[in-house]
Structure 1
């Protein structure tokens, strides 16, 4: 195979014998290489095929933002989950999981801990996914020399759950309408459309999907507040915080659901990422 496109020193895109694009990953695989050069097959550690072209495009963007180590460990964890759960996982997990792991490792190295408002529910309702996630956390901690704990295991378990999610059409319709309404509020307040193809946009949509699931199942996270983090984002990200408050008011009026301060914190952080991209 020859190189079609170089992503970085460790990642390149090629075309297989069937004419399908494949992403190849390996240490130094594309070092000093250019389009048309032969690939050293001994350096190929991972091969990625994604059927969904929209996800494939996002995946290529993600490869420029996360490390080869984060991609590799994510792939190992996804393979572990497939074997244990004996279920197919949506291809979107190849974007959402490495993206989450990269952010979690960065937060841990910066000394920032984020509490999981649904940890108790995840442990209770998704026991198998949580056990696999605990193994995943051990792998991540050993690889990156960090100390991620139960809260992060809960987040990773939810990625497994989301990748399996096959909701009934009624729930899907509700979630779709909910996301449409929230995006409309954000678009109006930011005076620009949310770029759903960008990584911040994709992250925000993923968060809204999780959030909508909690609302329509009437789950709450009232016992996991973090007043200190809430006050920090309120002060640092005042514009994003104001928009998050508008979203909270809409949900209260439209769905009779009281959004917790922790959820406002998460919304504010995601909205701030959208603002950062706009600016």
Structure 2
């Protein structure tokens, strides 16, 4: 492949057979090279191609600010997450994760430890992402000979969640706090803890995640209300319906968000499933 642009000694940009730019990374790959010269294929360790042109431009800028090692470990972690989570991750994670890792490595080297105020919620609500993030922290610690802990695993888990929802980190924090609030209301009313390993618990929390994402992204729920079903669950599942109404009131007051009758219907059904498991 021929060099089209040199970022530094270890990173160059070339053009593939389709006429698209591809970022090539490898130790000494562009050392003493000039634009138009051939690249030694044996030195190419990683290739990056992002379909989103806006993200691609940001990624090129990021390459000038973080180290090759940080880019490489981020790519390894993203590959690990895709394998273990078996979920699609937005290309945005190629920007957010290496940038975060770079900041985390610099923080720990200067003795600055940052606490994750939502760590407990992250462990409870995003168990799979947190489990992968723990492995990611281990990889980072081994690669850079540092000691990042559970708080950092929580932050990295956030990046996995963010890449699935394709929303900002601030939104993910809001979603996590929101879900925790709703769970607290429901568990208090039911006088029971929610078993997230059970099918009913998993379904309930998954429903809350998607509902919260719609709410904070201001996405319109196109599901039309079903007055008949609403009345049926109201009459048949009176206790669950009453709890759903308390949840609705909380959301209205705290988030100024109008919860539809259909959403109350869904909440009632999920809460009823939790009730049935209790009994």
One fold, TM greater than 0.5?
yes
SS in 2 for 1:101: helix
Residues 1-279 of structure 1 mapped to structure 2, 5 A cutoff: 1-165=1-165, 206-214=168-176, 217=179, 256=254
SS in 2 for 1:77: helix
Per the alignment, do residues 111 and 50 of structure 1 end up closer, same or farther by CA in structure 2, a change over 3 Å counting? same
Q: Considering only aligned residues, what root-mean-square deviation do their CA atoms show, in Å?
A: 2.0
CA distance in 1, matches of 2:16, 2:65: 25
Per the alignment, do residues 122 and 214 of structure 1 end up closer, same or farther by CA in structure 2, a change over 3 Å counting? closer
Which is greater in Rg? 2
CA distance in 2, matches of 1:30, 1:22: 14
How far the C-alpha of 1:219 sits from its partner, in A, is 5.1
Per the alignment, do residues 120 and 215 of structure 1 end up closer, same or farther by CA in structure 2, a change over 3 Å counting? closer
Residues paired across the two proteins, number:
186
How far the C-alpha of 1:214 sits from its partner, in A, is 4.5
CA distance in 2, matches of 1:215, 1:153: 18
Gaps of 5+ in 1: 167-171, 173-205, 221-253, 258-279
Per the alignment, do residues 41 and 60 of structure 1 end up closer, same or farther by CA in structure 2, a change over 3 Å counting? same
CA distance in 2, matches of 1:219, 1:110: 35
More relative contact order in 1 or in 2 (CA 8 Å, sep 6+)? 1
SS in 1 for 2:4: strand
How far the C-alpha of 1:218 sits from its partner, in A, is 6.6
Show structure 1 runs of 4+ deviating over 3 A. 214-220, 254-257
SS in 2 for 1:106: helix
SS in 2 for 1:7: strand
Gaps of 5+ in 2: 183-251, 256-279
How far the C-alpha of 1:18 sits from its partner, in A, is 1.4
Q: For the Cα contact (< 8 Å) 2:9–2:29, is it kept in 1? A: yes
Per the alignment, do residues 141 and 255 of structure 1 end up closer, same or farther by CA in structure 2, a change over 3 Å counting? farther
How far the C-alpha of 1:103 sits from its partner, in A, is 0.2
CA distance in 2, matches of 1:149, 1:143: 15
